[in-house]
Amino acid sequence: MARADDPSIMTRNPALLAHLWDDQALLGAHLLLPDACMLPTGGFGYGVKTNDVSDFGDGPIFLQAAEGDTDLDGNPLVGYGDEPYPEVCYEGGAIFLPQIGLSMKLSNDLGVGLGFFPPDNAALNQWGNRDGTIDTPNGKRPNPLRYYRSHQNVSFFTLMAAGGYRVNDWISAGLGLQWNLAVFSATTWTTPVDALDPRQDIRTDLFGRDLFIPGIIASVHLKPLNSLDVALGFKWTEPVDAKAKLDITSGAFGTGEVFQYNDAEFGLTSIGSSTPPTSHNLPGVVDAPPIWAPQASIGIRWAQRLKPHFGDLDLAQKTSDGKIEDHMATERWDVELDFIYYFTSVFDEASFTNDNSLGLELRGVDENGEPLTPIPATPGDCFERDENNNCVGDRVTRGLLGGKDQITVRLGGDYNVLPGLFSVRAGVSYEADGADASQLNILTPMMQRIGLHGGFTVRLADKTDVTLGYAHFIHKNLRLQVQAGDPSARLDQQYRTDEYNFQAGEGEIDLEGNETGGDFDGVANVSVPSAGPPEAGPYYINAGSFTYGLDVLSLGFTQHF
């Protein structure tokens, strides 16, 4: 943040565009390699209230099939209601973030830049299969994490223009303006009733876009001493407000047919199921947190210089015999300490709003093949009702993110092994929790982490810099527990065992009346409320064991002119 190496400095401290040695072009990329898994607490029968026959891609399957039940050909039926939830891992691809930047010195004291710099976060876009299922040794099952989201694709474009001006030898100022746009498609899941019967699930495939998301980056750079730099910065981006079109499938896992089997006790038995019709191109609005969290930052750098700092770059260039005399050539080493305050409390929730009058219904057939009474199936919670308790106005689907402000500290430095030819660097970083642990969201895991960083730069033919970087982030693992005494987050007694990944939370009372809880495998138990407001439904919880890791590979080419 407090040293100008290439055009990417405009994303952190545009004031230093005035300090770049010459005109430059940057082409680079980051490759993000997340490794994340969650083992939810509970089993597939949790929250199911009726006989359920669904189709997850392998043909109809009866959730409550018991030992001795067979199909009409005499083959044993295998139910899955007693199966524990499996571990669900991130199945999306590696995240590739290209970067392009151009900078130009218009005068000794004025530098400008233009660039494409996408957000450097690692949002996780797919857990399990895209269609809301998960592969298990026993066949396809409904993904227990599908109510977060099963898949998302985002096409992102950003254009940044920035300028930096050196007022005098010890103070410079800079400003950058961003135009961002995002086009996305996603598959989300909800349920129209206070139950978790898979056949009643509503699948929503949405396509949305926000074509104007403005942002600003401002900075002031101070140089009180020849070897000391101090940088102050601020970044802000507008929240996302996107128009969307929906394809909504009610009863998405239903078969729409009567399922017959031989019950071990009662003989030939028939069970109905839901019918999965799809309604296309329904309107809605997505409100989401900004692409970048607003942030305020300060960077302090100290360098051991091999040559005095030149305030007059024009004179320095005339006396350099055509060689580049930037920090890589004029310093032996430097060390920098950065503090960044992220206003991640803006990541409080994301919401989707649609009209209540979409006219959707959950339909199906009973055991005789007769149509069931339709159930209103419009997704979202109703917050306004008339005197007859009928929903009026819009419905809203809310995703609670639990964001809170966080602090990041970064310490690192460079050592120029061969000044002007080869530099190595290393550093460490610490990031505090950016969300309440009890409201962990697997899509944006803003948990405490420590980063280990390293890399090098080699200068080829006196004009081309090749930089390679690597970072490994160590995240805090969590085990979220069922909150004791909260009826909105109760777990059926059947699932309160180790088999179902249950460990008693703080203050929990076992069947003998003894208090349990404490640590488990060295990870503190965290009491967790239901995943949404109790009045909103559906009736499920955000409990389980979560692990997350991230590695980042970076490669950049900078051409000096």
pLDDT confidence of residue 416: 97
pLDDT confidence of residue 541: 60
Which pTM value belongs to this model?
Answer: 0.86
pLDDT confidence of residue 520: 39
Residue whose structure tokens are 């990417």: 8
On the CB side of 42, CA atoms within 13 Å amount to: 23
Which residue would you say has higher pLDDT here, 473 or 382?
Answer: 473
Residue 407 pLDDT level (bands cut at 50, 70, 90): very high
pLDDT confidence of residue 487: 46
Q: Is residue 375 part of a domain?
A: yes
CA-wise closest residue to 156 among 67, 240, 269, 45:
240
pLDDT confidence of residue 302: 97
pLDDT confidence of residue 488: 44
Kindly report, residue by residue over 196-222, the tens digit of the pLDDT.
899 999 999 999 999 999 999 999 999
| Token pair in block for residue 524 | 């503190």
pLDDT confidence of residue 483: 52
**Does the structure show a pLDDT above 90 at 392?**
no
The pLDDT of 335-343, averaged and rounded, is 97
d(CA 513, CA 219): 60
Amino acid at 515: E
d(CA 358, CA 275): 18
pLDDT confidence of residue 530: 41
In the chain, the percentage of residues whose pLDDT exceeds 90 is 60
d(CA 403, CA 258): 46
pLDDT confidence of residue 515: 46
| Token pair in block for residue 551 | 């590695």
pLDDT confidence of residue 351: 86
pLDDT confidence of residue 512: 45
Contact in structure between 90 and 34 (CB atoms under 8 Å):
yes
Kindly report, residue by residue over 414-446, the tens digit of the pLDDT.
999 999 999 999 999 999 998 877 677 788 888
Residues of the domain holding 20? 7-560
Q: Is residue 2 part of a domain?
A: no
d(CA 51, CA 367): 11
**Does the structure show a pLDDT above 80 at 303?**
yes
pLDDT confidence of residue 482: 62
H helices then E strands: how many in the chain? 2, 32
Give the CATH number of the domain where residue 287 resides: 2.40.160.60
Which residue would you say has higher pLDDT here, 429 or 314?
Answer: 429
Least confident of 6-15, 55-64, 99-108, 358-367: 358-367
Residue 122 pLDDT level (bands cut at 50, 70, 90): low
pLDDT confidence of residue 496: 76
pLDDT confidence of residue 70: 95
**Does the structure show a pLDDT above 50 at 119?**
yes
d(CA 282, CA 185): 14
d(CA 16, CA 231): 9
Distance of CA 390 to the CA centre of its chain: 36
pLDDT confidence of residue 513: 44
pLDDT confidence of residue 494: 77
**Does the structure show a pLDDT above 50 at 519?**
no
Q: Is residue 1 part of a domain?
A: no
Residue 307 pLDDT level (bands cut at 50, 70, 90): confident
In the chain, the percentage of residues whose pLDDT exceeds 70 is 90
Average pLDDT, the chain: 87
d(CA 81, CA 62): 9
Could you write out the three-class secondary structure of 450-464?
EEEEEEEEEEECCCE
**Does the structure show a pLDDT above 90 at 35?**
yes
Helix (H, G, I), strand (E, B) or coil at 120: coil
d(CA 41, CA 87): 10
pLDDT confidence of residue 526: 40
Residue whose structure tokens are 């199906």: 364
Residue whose structure tokens are 């430059």: 24
The pLDDT of 365-379, averaged and rounded, is 86
Compute CA distances 344 → 31, 404, 408, 432, whole Å.
24, 5, 12, 11
What percent helix, strand, coil does the chain show, rounded to 5?
5, 55, 40
Structural domains of the chain, count: 1
Compute CA distances 366 → 137, 264, 270, 329, whole Å.
31, 21, 9, 79
Which residue would you say has higher pLDDT here, 454 or 313?
Answer: 454
Look at phi and psi of residue 389 and say left if phi exceeds 0, alpha if psi is from -120 to 50, else beta.
Answer: left
Kindly report, residue by residue over 159-197, the tens digit of the pLDDT.
999 999 999 989 999 999 999 998 999 998 888 777 789
